[in-house]
Amino acid sequence: MSDQQTDRWTEGWLAGIQRGSRERRTGEADRAFWQAGPCRAWCTTIHQDGDRPEDRYHYSNNLSVTLRTEDMRESDPTEIRIHLMQHERERDARLHLGEGEMRGFHLTLNEAESLMENIAQVIKMAANDTSDNQLHAA
Ligand SMILES: [Zn+2]
């Protein structure tokens, strides 16, 4: 009789039970096996062995700005959301800016910095505008 080998899935499941959770991870230091190192400091994602390769992203929490002059989106006010993301195989983090996960833009940190500078510039232009912006009656 040969010893019964425990497969990776079962190993992860047992590790999860020991942690008191349903998370399955069998990598070093309680990480998913596919993680080459620890999560990014800003990552709030719970990774598991079974995450598909295309889903192996580190994500930060969302920051959002409610847009008071835009139409509602279904039953919620429109919000711009930003978060950091980095695939396990990517060298650098990118910033996602959009309404949700699917719509929006992915910016490198340099692009995000340029955008931020441009926004600051137009805000400054508006703040420094001393012209009378009221329409004059004839
Ligand atoms: Zn992570």
Regarding pTM above 0.75, the answer is yes
Residue 72: which pLDDT band, with cuts at 50, 70 and 90? confident
Q: What is the DSSP letter of 110?
A: H
Q: Which pLDDT tens digit goes with each residue over 4-55?
A: 677 877 777 777 777 777 778 888 888 999 999 999 999 999 999 999 999 9
First to last CA, the chain: 102
88 Cα–ligand 1 center, Å: 8
36-67: string of b/e by CB count within 10 Å (b at 16+)? eeebeeebebebbbebeeeebbbbbeeeeeee
Residue 136: which pLDDT band, with cuts at 50, 70 and 90? low
114 Cα–ligand 1 center, Å: 26
> What pLDDT score does 24 carry?
84
89 Cα–ligand 1 center, Å: 12
Q: What is the DSSP letter of 54?
A: G
Under 8 Å CB-to-CB from 100, ≥6 apart: which residues?
Answer: 81
